[in-house]
Structure 1
């Protein structure tokens, strides 16, 4: 069976950076499922699999195509129930949905304000033009102005992770002693920043940084397969 993960990358195709793709990469590793990564640029996405998706990740599992990271995680648990679960039951799915909402509305929103120009700079020329033309109308200002206005976000970012920090005082991962898809959701966001930007967002001694380092080492160190910027 051919299993393919389409992953967003910039000018360097060996450095996939999408936070949502990284959720799936760790999920596949969690399940022990082999796959091939096919890197694609922003402007190449409409052409993959005959226009099957407007965004990545997109997973081809034999004859099946599945898009959206959460839908892919659900699919993997349902299709491969004999392998380690990503959710550990309905309670784990509910927890992951909450973490997904928190990550999207708090973590991603803060991160993008100070890494958006780094993302732009890692792209090829055609993708840079696309990225600027599609993102600047959303922000209502230039990418440079977004980053300038978001300088303070770097200093306050750690405080936004306090819910996770408090949890880590009681257990090693969101789900307890071992990782689950909820961990991969937040890991994906921090991995995104690690790959595209040299900005320091987590300090030594922070339990969240310790957790992130543990996540980088999971499943044979798949998270470290791409070096930091």
Structure 2
């Protein structure tokens, strides 16, 4: 049976950009499941599956609807135990929870700073107006003021990745010899930036950038099927 993934897009429905939807997409691919995607814009989210969630991703697997990327991964692990594991046991679930909190407090704020104007430009007129109003209300400043801090914040951002950089000097993936859902959490954040903005967050020689390239190649190059921002 094909699983339906509601995927957040802007004007171009072939450029899904949400870090959380990318986590879900990679988790589905990791399990080797057949998927179909429903490109969904911000203002369309409240109508998804009768208003089941205010945010994406959402999946439908037969009669089962699941919201939230982490809950989706947990569901897939339980529903498809005979397919490659996303966590490698309870310890992997606990590790992934930590990685999710770390990514959202360390990587997401700087990606917001670096890419927010570009993300706005990806939307059509009505969704762009929603994006600007909601983000400026949340952040307390104009989008252009947020972006203005990206140059001064770049060094601090790169330094904040040192724990990840150090760990990847011992092993090719966060999950060890092969990727787990924890990898897809961080991948989703950096893929969000890659698709939204041409601004370079990482030096090419950085081991984190090299790990990200390995992740782009996973599952038949799923991540590369959407080109980087020009």
Task: With the length of structure 2 as denominator, give the TM-score of the two structures.
Answer: 0.98
The two structures, once aligned, show a CA RMSD in angstroms of 0.9
Structure 1 SS opposite 2:7: strand
In structure 1, the residue corresponding to 2:170 is in which secondary structure?
coil
Distance 1:50 1:19 in 2: 23
**1:15 counterpart SS class:** coil
- What is the CA-CA distance between 1:151 and the residue it aligns to? 2.7
| Alpha-carbon distance in 1 for matches of 2:19, 2:142 | 23
**Which residue of structure 2 aligns with residue 206 of structure 1?**
206
Equivalent in the alignment of 2:95: 95
* Counterpart Cα distance in 1 of 2:204 and 2:228: 16
Question: Cα distance, 1:112 vs. partner?
Answer: 0.6
* Corresponding residue of 1:78: 78
- Provide the residue aligned with 1:147 in structure 2: 147
Question: Following the alignment from structure 1 to structure 2, what is the Cα–Cα distance between the partners of residues 155 and 122?
Answer: 26
Is 1:114 the counterpart of 2:114 in the alignment?
yes
1:175 aligns with 2:175: yes
Number of positions where the alignment pairs a residue of Structure 1 with one of Structure 2: 229
Specify the alignment match of 1:62 in structure 2: 62
Q: CA deviation at 1:214?
A: 0.1
Q: Hey, what does 1:191 align to over in structure 2?
A: 191
Separation in structure 2 between the aligned mates of residue 77 and residue 4 of structure 1, nearest angstrom: 17
1: distance between equivalents of 2:204 and 2:117? 25
2:55 pairs with 1:44: no
Structure 1 runs not aligned, ≥5 long: none
- In the alignment, the residues of structure 2 paired with residue 162 and residue 34 of structure 1 have an alpha-carbon distance, to the nearest angstrom, of 36
The answer for the alignment partner of 2:138 in structure 1 is: 138
CA distance in 1, matches of 2:141, 2:38: 33
Shift of 1:159: 1.2
**Stretches (4+) displaced over 6 A:** none
- Indicate the residue corresponding to 1:215 in structure 2: 215
Using a 3 Å threshold, how does the CA distance of structure 1 residues 150 and 203 change in structure 2: closer, same or farther? closer
Q: Per the alignment, in what secondary structure is the counterpart of residue 192 of structure 2?
A: helix
CA contact (8 A) 2:2 2:33 kept: no
